Amino acid sequence: MSPAGPATDPAFDNKLLAPAIERYDRARTALAAAEDGLEADDRLGALTAAEREIRDLVLSRTRPTWDTVWRGLDLLRELPEGAHVEERWTRDRWSFTGHRDRVLAGEPPQPRRDDAVTAANKLATREREQARLEAQEALDDPLVMAGRRLSGEAFTGEVTDVVMAYSEGKRPSPRPLVTVRTDDRPHLGERAKVYRSLGGKPQSAEFVGTEERAEDDGAYVVLRVLDKMGRGKEPEPGSVPEKGDRICFTLFEHEQRGGAKLPDPEDTPWTHGGPPGEATLEAADPVTEEDVL
């Protein structure tokens, strides 16, 4: 029998805690009514015992939670740090430092309502950072990545075949075809881009097709690797998956790209917060008898 979160257990309150508080109140009242020192000493002992009983009751309910919280923190500290944690921490510090510098420089506070361009830029920045955070969390935590795999946004599998191929043109570049057997069901469309982490950097590939094999329940996904293989005719060592490798590809980008540049506020139309324009109304052509007929 223990309290359930912030609300304590009614049975504990009514059967144990409330009677103990009543005994404490009676002992305190009795101590105040003591007529001599000897009687006061006896009643002080009863009051101390009643106070200790309350303390032990509360401690019996709060101490296990306290110990469990610190045990959980100790376990968390034993986990390896995510690969992108330091980068995010650095960006957060620079963001705060920039805000501090603006305040110290005496810049005006943020307006109650931003103009259209400023609001659009803020929204785009927050959406981009949110997408970056979600991508990094999936790359750092296998459990988070498992959720993305279940939703069809990523897949893991074993490389079963690698065929060297090249792009067409005056300077052919390597475009190897990699076949990955997977039990996942990614939502791959025609020529969809997928990404894997290679040395901390995203390497992109293009979905070519899927092979179904009667003797196997898994899917065989064929991908064409597009970049991060060096500038030579032959791929650099380690830049192309090898047969037997187990790799993870995502359908979401690992690095978020910036959107289109927005115009300056003064260059936006008056309907979006720009300078007020002069409304010009063209005179209507007079209605003639021919128009009526």
User: What are the two backbone dihedrals, phi and then psi, of residue 248, each rounded to the nearest 5 degrees?
Assistant: -125, 130
What local confidence, expressed as pLDDT, does residue 287 receive?
45
Structure token digits, residue 32: 């105040």
pTM comes to 0.68
Structure token digits, residue 281: 């109304």
What local confidence, expressed as pLDDT, does residue 188 receive?
94
Residue whose C-alpha is closest to residue 149's, from 159, 139, 158: 139
Structure token digits, residue 247: 């790799």
Residue whose C-alpha is closest to residue 157's, from 184, 121, 193: 184
The Cα–Cα gap between 102 and 96 comes to 10
Angle at 87 between CA 99 and CA 69, to 5 degrees: 95
Residue type, 116: A
Give the chain as a 3 state SS string: CCCECCECCHHHHHHHHHHHHHHHHHHHHHHHCCCCHHHHHHHHHHHHHHHHHHHHHHHHHHHHHHHHHHHHHHHHHHCCCCCCHHHHHHHHHHHHHHHHHHHHCCCCCCCCCCCHHHHHHHHHHHHHHHHHHHHHHHHHCHHHHHHHHHCCCEEEEEEEEEECCECCCCCCCECCEEEEEECCCCCCCCCCEEEEEECCEEEEEEEEEEEECCCCCCEEEEEEECCCCCCCCCCCCCCCCCCCCEEEEECCCCCCCCCCCCCCHHHCCHHHCCCCCCCCCCCCCCCCHHHHC
Cα–Cα distances (Å) from 194 to 156, 198, 203, in that order, read: 12, 13, 8
Would residue 53 be called left, alpha or beta, if left means φ above 0 and alpha means ψ between -120 and 50 degrees? alpha
What local confidence, expressed as pLDDT, does residue 111 receive?
82
Residue type, 188: L
Structure token digits, residue 284: 């209507």
Residue type, 10: P
Quickly count: other Cβ atoms within 10 Å of residue 208's Cβ. 17
Report mean pLDDT in 10-residue bins for the chain, 293 residues: 62 91 92 84 89 93 92 93 92 93 87 84 90 94 96 96 90 93 94 94 94 81 94 91 95 84 75 57 45 42
What local confidence, expressed as pLDDT, does residue 281 receive?
40
